[in-house]
Structure 1
Amino acid sequence: MRVMLRATMDTEKANELIRGGKLQQLMQETMEKPKPEAAYFTTNDGNRACYLVFDLQDSSQIPVIAEPFFMSLGARIEFSPVMNADDLQKGLSQLG
């Protein structure tokens, strides 16, 4: 299932990683697991945030994907099922 993960990072923890030159490495390692089809970096409620869109093949993947954000960044995480335009067309075609 295609999902979007939103990770809103704790500012102080992210600042520490940036000062130590480790945020870029952490993000690269974290994105190796879900292999997102898209990754966006922005702000959310005044904090650093990232959005990853990827295929969640099994719910057992959630801890492996989420824990680095929780443990290293003190992040708040949300997973949301999402559709691309093809998925929407397929779904709409099934409506009578």
Structure 2
Amino acid sequence: MRMLLKVQMDTAASNEAIKQGTLQQTMEAALEKLRPEAAYFTAENGCRTGYLFFDLADPSDLPVISEPFFMGLNAKLYYSPAMNADELRKGLSALGR
């Protein structure tokens, strides 16, 4: 299932990760593992924030995905199922039946 993962990083923890050189390592490892179809990075509510759209094959993968962000960046994570435009069209057309 396509998922949106929002990673909102604690500023102090991510500042330290930058100083230690681990922020890039954490992100590269996540991108390698998730192979997202899209990844965007910005600032939201004063925090470094990433949006990753990826396929979640098995919910048991959530701890493996989440813990590096929790432990290394003191991040807040938000997961949400997501659709592309074709999937939305398909879902909406099913409503008309």
TM-score calculated relative to the size of structure 1: 0.94
Identity of aligned residues (%): 57
Q: How many angstroms apart in 1 are the aligned matches of 2:55 and 2:29?
A: 17
Pairwise CA RMSD: 0.9
Aligned residue pair count: 96
In proportion to residue count, which structure has more helix?
Answer: 2
The answer to whether residue 97 in structure 2 is matched with residue 88 in structure 1 is no
Structure 1: 4+ residue segments shifted above 3 A:
none
Alpha-carbon shift at residue 21 of structure 1 (Å):
2.2
Q: How many angstroms apart in 2 are the aligned matches of 1:53 and 1:75?
A: 17
The answer to whether residue 57 in structure 2 is matched with residue 57 in structure 1 is yes
Gaps of 5+ in 2: none
Q: How many angstroms apart in 2 are the aligned matches of 1:33 and 1:64?
A: 10
The answer to whether residue 73 in structure 2 is matched with residue 73 in structure 1 is yes
Alpha-carbon shift at residue 10 of structure 1 (Å):
0.7
| Equivalence for 2:9 | 9
| Equivalence for 1:26 | 26
TM-score calculated relative to the size of structure 2: 0.94
Letter in 1 for 2:85: A
